Amino acid sequence: MQSRSEVTRQKILSSATRLFSLNGYDGTGVAEICEAAGVSKGAFYHHFPSKQDVFLNILNEWLDQLSSQMQAARLATHDVPEGLVAMSGLIDQVFQMSRNHYSLFFEFWIQAMRHPEIWQTAIAPYHRFQTWLAAILQSGINEGSVDPSVPPDDTSRILIAMVLGLLLQAFFDPNGAAWGDVTESGIKTLVTEFSRRSL
């Protein structure tokens, strides 16, 4: 069972996610988050030093959740190239997120751009994710399933780019394509090339 304190924390995070998505980060105050979550300002500041800290926690939890799901997909396959394709299958869930969540995603970039202190903190989970993906590619090289000429760091950036770039387009043109399928096809194209370069 979750402790009462944890329940309060989650209530604050989910109300804030909804309000940031609806009204933007700048358009949402701590008072409104407290009202929507049904908690006192005292309780809010017990859990989070600032609105910015709430924002970064939302981002971190989202990335952690995504990388655990990806890790599970990866472990269910027998080599790295297959694992990467299975991971890309999860992206369809991300595409299914409401437009409201997309909004938060762009809001995050805008805030990171305007406020160096958000950027400093927010770049850490991005680096963590990118490094994690590079390590997976390195393990593919080690097991012989990924071509040894593939540079793990830049290649992880290329894989992340494919997904981010399709997310942007899917947001912009939701009915323009079967975005989940396009993502799987884009990732498969890259992975095929990464695994067969030496052939």
Element spanning 44, H or E: helix 41-47
d(CA 162, CA 94): 14
d(CA 84, CA 34): 41
Q: Which of residues 128-167 bind its own copies (CB under 8 A)?
A: 153-154, 157-158, 160-166
Of these, 20, 55, 95, 102, which contacts its own copies (CB under 8 A)?
Answer: 102
Q: Are 12 and 47 in contact (CB under 8 A)?
A: yes
Per CB under 8 A, 113 contacts its own copies: yes
Q: Which of residues 82-101 bind its own copies (CB under 8 A)?
A: 99
Of these, 9, 48, 107, 140, which contacts its own copies (CB under 8 A)?
Answer: 107
Closer residue to its own copies (CB): 33 or 118 = 118
Tell me the window of 5-13, 55-63, 66-74, 175-183 that interacts with its own copies (CB under 8 A): 175-183
Closer residue to its own copies (CB): 2 or 175 = 175
Per CB under 8 A, 6 contacts its own copies: no
Residues across the chain: 199
Give the ranges where 48-197 is alpha helix by DSSP (H). Answer: 51-75, 80-89, 91-96, 99-114, 116-143, 152-172, 179-196
Nearest to 30 by CA among 22, 42, 132: 42
Per CB under 8 A, 41 contacts its own copies: no
Of these, 45, 76, 127, 144, which contacts its own copies (CB under 8 A)?
Answer: 127
Cβ of residue 50: shortest distance to its own copies, in angstroms? 21
Tell me the window of 41-49, 76-84, 138-146, 185-193 that interacts with its own copies (CB under 8 A): 185-193
Q: Are 118 and 190 in contact (CB under 8 A)?
A: no
d(CA 47, CA 191): 42
Nearest to 9 by CA among 51, 50, 39: 39
d(CA 150, CA 130): 15
Q: Contact residues for its own copies (CB under 8 A)?
A: 24, 99, 102-103, 106-107, 109-110, 112-114, 119, 123, 126-127, 153-154, 157-158, 160-166, 168-169, 171-173, 176-177, 181-182, 185-186, 189-190, 192-194
